[in-house]
Amino acid sequence: MNILDKIIEQKKIEVAERKAKKSIEELKQSEFFGRETLSLKQFLLDEDRTGIIAEFKRKSPSKGMINGTADVVEVTSAYRANGASCLSVLTDEIFFGGSTEDLIKARVNNIPILRKDFIIDEYQIVEAKSMGADVILLIAACLTPEEVKRLAAFAKSLSLEVLLELHDEEELQHICNETEIVGVNNRNLKTFIVDIERSIAMSKKIPADKIKVAESGISSIENINIFKQNGFRGFLIGENFMKEADPSKAFATFVSQLKNQSTRT
């Protein structure tokens, strides 16, 4: 059993436990459930923004603890202040050290927030809305095309956008009308090997009307330029900043370099 299989098995148990503790009707009573959501699509298409989806992540199955001391409000606020187009907040606790509370705290920021988790059930989508998320992640590797279509349609009914994540060409069939934003994960979720060239080759087969997002393994301005040249509008980056002692400063420096290069070119 690979790590993705282990995560999904655990997620099934976790979702059942959460359903038993709090009903959908209770989730709908959240102060955030009725808020007007922000559009990731609009933010990514805004030429005045960086296109960076800046992630708050404490640990990962492949790297272990990345940053166990960073403050979610401090870091996400710095991401927003320095030009992030969106925040990605991990809510998986066991494998990534995240929590629902992290996303709720990050909601002080007035830019789109992606709930980064392994969504397998409509209940988790209602949860996402109740904690203040604007976008959910659907991972093709752990869902059938029919499940993606159903879950994406449900998210849309709650005014949430969807980032569909692919990592190999077989998953292109998961793309549907309900998934306007398509991410290509440069890191294979089963082996955790990063291969940017393979991702770029695969991305050329994504329909032209979809907004493309590059995910994982992005560590330089050069990486972003390569992705831009291949039609990507979004760039999900987390570990590159979170591994630093001061993620806020690391992000500000990265964006400054990105803007300086854009000015020169």
Residue 9: exposure state from Cβ atoms within 10 A (0-12, 13-18, ≥19): exposed
Longest CA span, the chain:
56
CA 215 vs. chain centroid, Å, equals: 8
Catalytic residues: 55, 57, 116, 165, 185, 215-216
